[in-house]
Chain A
Amino acid sequence: MVKEKDSVIKDHSGSRLLKDKIFLIGIIIFSVITISPILLIIGKLIVKGYRQISLDFLIETTPNTFEAMTSIANGERIPGGIANGITGTLLMVLLAAVIAIPIGLITGIYLYENQEKRLAGVIRNISDILQGVPSIVLGLIAYLWVVKHVTQGFSALAGSTALAIMMLPMIVRSTEETFKMIPNAIKEAALALGVPYYRVILQILIPTGFSGLLTGILLSISRVIGETAPLMLTALGSSVINWDVTKPTSSIPLLIWEFYNDPNMVDLIWSSSLLLMGIVLAFNLISKQIAARRR
């Protein structure tokens, strides 16, 4: 029986194994191409930026261009750091999170509870469109709303508003998707105990989906932490540490832009970028870790 088959059907196994190998090699090559940019970027940042990283870099404010020029002429490390940017980023991202998280969560819960309703469909679409709005446009909107009418000048609040609008659609979507993944049986179990609906949301859905919600929030933060364009139009920048939300404020990406425009500060670009990259990477890894543990 086997012999008969062998004689009728040609043995292709040789060429098939070869094809298999070619595909495997192709896959490896393309995978390497895919991950190489991130490795090259991180490598470059470390090589060029590590020299400036020190305690001073984290706790001192930016030097002026003259100080930088002198130290370069003497072959020394540029003095000062980016503490004004670090604190500004912290302030604005925190404030944006405080604005965006409650609104995003509530909207997400609404969408989950009213899947089929027309209004929910409209909100879902608008939220998706919002995600596609260029960040500089959001900066312009925040400029018109907040800079011109609320704080009467460039301010951290205006920057936070722009960042919060960017965070919203991500939080809305991740909230809805997280809740959709919670088995209906759990919700019904609580309702069958005579638990009022708002308590089911607060005490069952949110705790059960907590890690999913947290992942969405962390990802949205890591998304906006590196935003520059909207902040140029709203927070402007500052050479001192500022905790007043109605005053102009700096941020790490804003400083990178400023350093880029100053030939004496070039070294600081790399170290600031390294720090920013590290923060974004950390947020991403933490949220991945949380998401993995959930499964």
Chain B
Amino acid sequence: MLPEEDKNMNENILEIKDPVLTLEGLSVAYDTNVAVKNVSVGFKKNSVTAIMGPSGCGKSTLLRAINRMHELYENIETTGKIILNGQDIMDMSTIKVRRRMGMVFQRPNPFPTMSIYDNVIAGYKLNGIKLKKGQKDDIVERSLQDVTLWDEVKDSLFKKGTFLSGGQQQRLCIARALAFSPEIILLDEPTSALDPIATAKIEDLLVKLKESYTIILVTHNMAQAARISDYSLFMYLGELVEYDKTKKMFTNPKDIRTEEYLTGKFG
């Protein structure tokens, strides 16, 4: 009985050829409470992968494990392998890991003491990396262009970032993550604090950004996952239940739990 179940589980999880990022047997525990259980999955380069699931299913925990944010907290233990382009990131310094993976949080969190300009190059500034004025200007303009914020703020670059609207602030935070040209961008429910118009802008942006970045997006919004993601992961109670192309999963879920979640039976 058990081996068969195992086989079933594997069938529900899509295998990605030449993944840019692979998780192997990743588990995360808060004290003794295991929030993410033995997740193994590969992420496709230059695509948007959505991590879905009801509240408390461990989707944010999984995302934050990827750039090792959990190491800030002593009571959280992460086990397993995270392989980025063939290298296990557990063997790298967290500083290097985080420079290769940008992260955007649930609520926009620009640095309140910094101008828009300084927020974009904060990654360089805070790390003490010296740049020439021209280089800085280039990075700021390119990053803000990438997030379609340039035209809105080019005349007020030296105003505080916190004066922007919520949606603009969130795009600024994405620009800040892009400034380092990371390989992967991790987004933790980036639109949950935004209105529909700001949300639509961010969604368009993510679709555009996948041309040059690999995007992993946690969302509790199924419609959002359906709109913008190429691949979807469904998690339930810390387990990876199903992983497939988004279209396939939404039209033909294999696991009964996925189907019930997608049809709104729980969530």
Chain A residues at the B interface, C-beta cutoff of 8 Å? 183, 185-186, 188-196, 199-200, 203-204, 207-208, 210
Contact = CB atoms under 8 A, between A and B. Distances in A.
B69 interface: yes
A199 B128 contact: yes
Q: Please provide the 6 A-B residue pairs with the shortest distance between their CB atoms, ordered closest to farther.
A: A194-B98, A194-B99, A192-B103, A185-B109, A193-B123, A195-B126
Given A188-B72, A208-B111, A208-B113, A193 B105 contact: no
Contacts of B97: 194
A186 B99 contact: no
Contact of B123 (A183, A188, A194): A194
13 contacts: A185-B109, A188-B69, A188-B105, A189-B176, A192-B98, A193-B180, A194-B96, A195-B123, A195-B127, A199-B127, A199-B128, A204-B113, A204-B126
Given A192-B69, A193-B123, A194-B94, 4 more contacts: A186-B111, A190-B122, A194-B96, A204-B111
Q: Binding site of A, secondary structure by majority: helix, strand, loop or mixed?
A: helix
A194 B109 CA distance: 16
B153 to A, nearest CB: 19
A200 B258 CA distance: 41
Given A188-B69, A188-B72, A193 B109 contact: no
A190 B180 CA distance: 13
Give the interface size class of chain B. Answer: 20 to 34
A185 B99 CA distance: 18
Interface string B159-192: 0000000000000010011001000000000000
B67 interface: yes
Nearest to A189: B109
Given A191-B69, A194-B94, A194-B97, A185 B107 contact: yes
B102 interface: yes
A191 B105 contact: no
Interface string B116-159: 00000011011110000000000000000000000000000000
B127 A183 contact: no
A193 B72 contact: no
B111 A189 contact: yes
B127 A189 contact: no
A15 B105 CA distance: 56
Nearest to B106: A185
B2 interface: no
Contacts of A194: 94-99, 123, 127, 180
Nearest to A199: B126
Contacts of B69: 188, 191-192
B109 A183 contact: yes
Contacts of B67: 192
A186 B127 contact: no
Contacts of B123: 193-195
Interface string B215-251: 0000000000000000000000000000000000000
A105 to B, nearest CB: 17
A192 B67 CA distance: 8
A111 B97 CA distance: 28
A183 B112 CA distance: 11
Contacts of B105: 185, 188-189, 192
Given A191-B69, A192-B103, A200 B109 contact: no
